[in-house]
């Protein structure tokens, strides 16, 4: 069964500092990989996704993520964090199958706090 | 297009009552998904539809839960005889499947937060 591990439950960074959120997945083949962000009481917004090709993907709000097959990782990065980035971040994996139904398996999330 | 819309945003109900939630997907999207998110957890898949057909249901979806998408547009999720353990955020998402293996990503609504007292 596929699974996603986000090792860090809570991360605190200072505004302007760099950020890296970790994500490891377990899946039998190369999956679709996603990062979503959720503000309190809100739904999920897609930050970026990886399907194939270039392993470094760019997303919205200045985020990027790198797929490393050998490490089964898809870590999210941002060079300079803004106070508005404070939120919960979820890594997700979806099956890469013909006719994929996009059933996503999510990690438990990483809560990001940004100090002024 | 205003995105995926869910109604109500919040629902408080007494244990044992039935509740129904509605989801309106992005208009051209043919796939619709329901997820449940409990406190401190990521969303968990419940079920999904392609057009009006319900194609997969999670083991999380007990007999008290039923979902419909009668005309392939909006969907409803009903919980009968609610229990305190049903308290969660219920998220709806939609995507467009253009062909085999060609799907857009899922776009999520803002969710319906259910509290069972």
Residues of chain A contacting residue B31, judged by C-beta atoms under 8 Å apart:
101-102
In this prediction, residue A43 carries a pLDDT of 86
User: Count of CB contacts below 8 A, A vs B?
Assistant: 65
State how far residue B25 is from chain A, nearest Cα, in angstroms: 14
Task: Name the band, by pLDDT with cuts 50, 70 and 90, for residue A31.
Answer: confident
Mean pLDDT of chain B: 92
- Asked whether residue B61 carries a pLDDT value surpassing 70, the answer given is yes
Task: Provide residues of B within 8 Å CB-CB of chain A.
Answer: 4, 6, 31, 33, 35, 40-45, 48, 50, 55-56, 91, 93, 95, 97, 100-101, 103, 105-111, 113
In this prediction, residue B99 carries a pLDDT of 67
Contact B113 A45 (CB under 8 A): no
DSSP state of B101: T
Residue of A104, A109, A110 to mutate for B, most B C-beta atoms under 10 A: A104
Nearest Cα neighbor of A115 from A69, A79, A64, A81 is A81
State how far residue A67 is from chain B, nearest Cα, in angstroms: 17
In this prediction, residue B78 carries a pLDDT of 98
- Asked whether residue A64 carries a pLDDT value surpassing 70, the answer given is yes
Residues of chain B contacting residue A107, judged by C-beta atoms under 8 Å apart:
42
Residue A70 phi, psi dihedral angles, 5° rounding: -65, -25
State how far residue A112 is from chain B, nearest Cα, in angstroms: 13
- pLDDT (mean) for A56-77: 95
Least confident of A41-50, B15-24, B67-76: A41-50
- Asked whether residue B113 carries a pLDDT value surpassing 70, the answer given is yes
Cα angle value A51/A43/B43 (rounded, 5°)? 65
What are the b/e assignments for A66-94, b being 16+ CB within 10 Å? bbeeeeebbbbebeebeeebbbbbbbbbb
Contact A34 B105 (CB under 8 A): yes
Strand A10-14 versus strand A110-115 pairing type: parallel
Task: Provide residues of A within 8 Å CB-CB of chain B.
Answer: 4, 34, 36, 41-46, 49, 90, 92, 97-109
- Asked whether residue B42 carries a pLDDT value surpassing 60, the answer given is yes
């Amino acid at each position: 069964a596929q699974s996603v591990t986000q090792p860090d439950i809570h991360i605190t960074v200072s505004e302007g500092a760099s950020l890296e959120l970790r994500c490891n997945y377990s899946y039998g083949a190369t999956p679709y990989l996603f990062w979503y962000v959720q503000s309190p009481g809100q739904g999920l917004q897609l930050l970026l996704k990886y399907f194939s090709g270039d392993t470094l993907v760019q997303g919205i709000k200045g985020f990027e993520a790198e797929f490393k097959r050998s490490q089964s990782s898809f870590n999210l990065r941002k060079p300079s964090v803004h106070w508005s980035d404070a939120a919960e971040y979820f890594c997700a994996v979806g099956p890469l199958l013909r006719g994929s139904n996009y059933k996503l398996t999510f990690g438990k999330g990483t809560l990001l706090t940004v100090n002024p | 297009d205003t995105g995926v819309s869910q109604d109500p945003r919040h629902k408080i109900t007494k244990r044992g009552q039935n509740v129904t939630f509605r989801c309106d997907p992005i208009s051209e999207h043919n796939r619709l998904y329901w997820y449940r998110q409990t406190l401190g957890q990521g969303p968990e898949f419940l079920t999904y539809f392609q057009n009006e057909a319900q194609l997969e249901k999670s083991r999380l979806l007990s007999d008290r839960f039923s979902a419909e998408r009668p005309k392939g547009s909006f969907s409803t999720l009903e919980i009968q005889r609610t229990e305190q353990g049903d308290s969660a955020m219920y998220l709806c998402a939609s995507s467009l499947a253009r062909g085999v293996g060609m799907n857009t990503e899922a776009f999520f609504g803002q969710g319906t937060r259910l509290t069972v007292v």
